[in-house]
Every structure is written in structure tokens, then in C-alpha cells.
Amino acid sequence: MRPFDRIPVHAKSGETMKFKMYHDSNCPYSRKVLIIAAEHGKDDVFEFISPFTPEGQAGIVRENPLAKMPALVIEPGFAIFDSRVICRYVDAFGDAGNSFYPTDPDELWKALRYEALGDGMVDAAIFARQELSRPADKQMPERISKQLSKVDEGLDCLEREIESVSASMTVGTVACSNALAYLDFRWGQKDWRADHPGLAAWYDELKLRPAFKKHDFVESDLLVKKLAAASR
Ligand SMILES: N[C@@H](CCC(=O)N[C@@H](CS)C(=O)NCC(=O)O)C(=O)O
């Protein structure tokens, strides 16, 4: 098993070993991992494999029974998955003093709660988008509005708690800002800034950090091609 707290090097060449990671540039959960790695200056340790190619699709099913990205291959046949697990793994590559997981228990639970909230907002936004992409006569508007109301409640909660959200940089901060980035990427029609000025001010400054900019969302050519092929 690869060591948990450092990036292994090749015994002979001394070069840093790369981790295969199932990832694509439009995946919000993967983005959390990349931001934390980049904040630690360790985002060059990945070799990306997109699940949107036939080989990538076969590989991800082999490595992650849930067939979801991100999945990080620790060693052949043993991948860890779910961004929450991978974020924690990758965080250990950085200096303990800059960890995104506070040592103070109260702060840690706060961070994990915000992580769950940010991820949950992304889950809901994705679900609503998937429902919207079904043929018009098969869509269920109540499903869409139910999911979007989770996003709205999440935004209101973050606005109310903006002092606490903005007080420190944790995995929760990354997840919440990631949810806002995802709304800008996929739900541009939703003007969330209008009713959430505190959140908007916080996020619009945070997103300028190099790690956040470097791993901004990019439409995936591979996904676009895959969807086009499926609709033919
Ligand atoms: N809770 C998971 C969610 C991962 C997830 O749903 N990833 C999407 C891509 S953004 C996926 O792979 N979906 C394929 C599927 O659900 O089959 C995490 O945080 O990693």
C-alpha cells in the first residue's frame, strides 16, 4: 500500500510517482480534490483518465464499483473514491499546519458540515440539470423545483452564516465555493448573487486564488462528443 502521508518516489529514478485519477474537467467533485492539492502545491501528482472514453469507462467500473469520478488509484486494484475521502488523502500531502481539516474538534465539525452542504448543493444542481435534459414530455417539473429549492435553501444558509463560512480556509470552504462555481458554470441563468451579497463578495474574492483559477471548470470535449454520439 502506498504511504498515506507522503508522495512516493521511484526507487531508481527518484522521480515522484503519479497517481492515476479518474477525472474530467467538468466534474465539480474532482475539482474539490484538485483545489486542495493545488493549494498544497501538489497538483502535479495526478495522471488524469477521463471516464468519457471507452477505455476510461471500462477502467472506472473496474476501479470504483460505483463507477463515479473522482476515483484515485492508490495502487493497481485499489482505488479510493468519493471526493470527501480523496480530499482527505490528498490533504495529508501538504504541511500539517496548512491542513484543510482543522484540529480543533468544533472547527472540524463545522468544516465537515460545510463540506456536506456544498456537496449537497452540487448534488441537487446536477440532479435538476439531468431532469431538465430529458425530453420535454418526460420531465417532471416538481422534481426540478424540489432540487432547486435545496440549492436556494443552501444559498440562504450560507448567506446567513457568511461570517462563519469566511472565517477560515477548510475543506468546507472549498466545497461551498465549488458549489457557487458550479452554479456559475451550469446554472448561469440563476442570478444567485442578487439575493446573497455577502456570499457573492466572499466568493468573488476567493475565486481569484491561483489554485481556484487554475482548476476552473472547462467544458469537456470528451463529454460533448459522447453525448453527441449517444443522441445520433
Ligand atoms: N459523492 C460523490 C459524487 C461523485 C459523482 O456523482 N460524480 C459524477 C460526475 S461529476 C459521476 O461520476 N457520475 C456518474 C454516475 O453517477 O454514474 C463524490 O463526492 O465523489
Determine if the pTM surpasses 0.85. yes
47 beta partners: 20
Predicted local distance difference test score (pLDDT) of residue 28: 97
Closest residue to atom 18 of ligand 1, CA basis = 82
Task: Say if strands 46-49 and 71-75 run parallel, antiparallel, or are unpaired.
Answer: unpaired
How far away, in angstroms, is 33 Cα from ligand 1 center? 13
Structure letter (DSSP) for residue 170: -
Closest residue to atom 1 of ligand 1, CA basis = 82
Burial of residue 123 (CB within 10 Å: 0-12, 13-18, 19+) is middle
Which atom of ligand 1 lies nearest, measured to the CA of 32?
19
Predicted local distance difference test score (pLDDT) of residue 220: 84
The answer, yes or no, to whether any atom of ligand 1 lies below 6 A from the CB of 122, is no
Predicted local distance difference test score (pLDDT) of residue 103: 96
How far away, in angstroms, is 68 Cα from ligand 1 center? 4
CA dihedral 165, 201, 207, 68 (to 10 degrees): 50
Closest residue to atom 13 of ligand 1, CA basis = 68
For residues 21-44, one letter each, b for 16 or more C-beta atoms within 10 angstroms of the residue's C-beta and e for the rest, the string is: bbbbbbbbbbbbbbbbbbbbebbe
> Is 100-211 a CATH 1.20.1050.10 domain?
yes
79 beta partners: 73
Predicted local distance difference test score (pLDDT) of residue 4: 59
Which atom of ligand 1 lies nearest, measured to the CA of 68?
12
Q: Name the grid cell of 135.
A: 425530453
Q: What are 2-57's pLDDT values in tens digits? A: 565 567 777 778 787 789 999 999 999 999 999 999 999 999 999 999 999 999 99
Domains in the chain: boundaries = 19-97, 100-211
For the domain bounded by 19-97, which CATH number is listed? 3.40.30.10
- Per-residue pLDDT tens digits of the chain, which is 232 residues long: 556 556 777 777 878 778 999 999 999 999 999 999 999 999 999 999 999 999 999 999 999 999 999 999 988 889 999 999 999 999 999 998 999 999 999 999 999 999 999 999 999 999 999 999 999 999 999 999 999 999 999 999 999 999 999 999 999 999 999 999 999 999 999 999 999 999 999 999 999 999 999 999 999 888 888 878 877 7
Amino acid identity for residue 183 in this structure: L
Structure letter (DSSP) for residue 184: H
Among the residues of 40-104, which ranges form H helices?
Answer: 54-63, 83-91
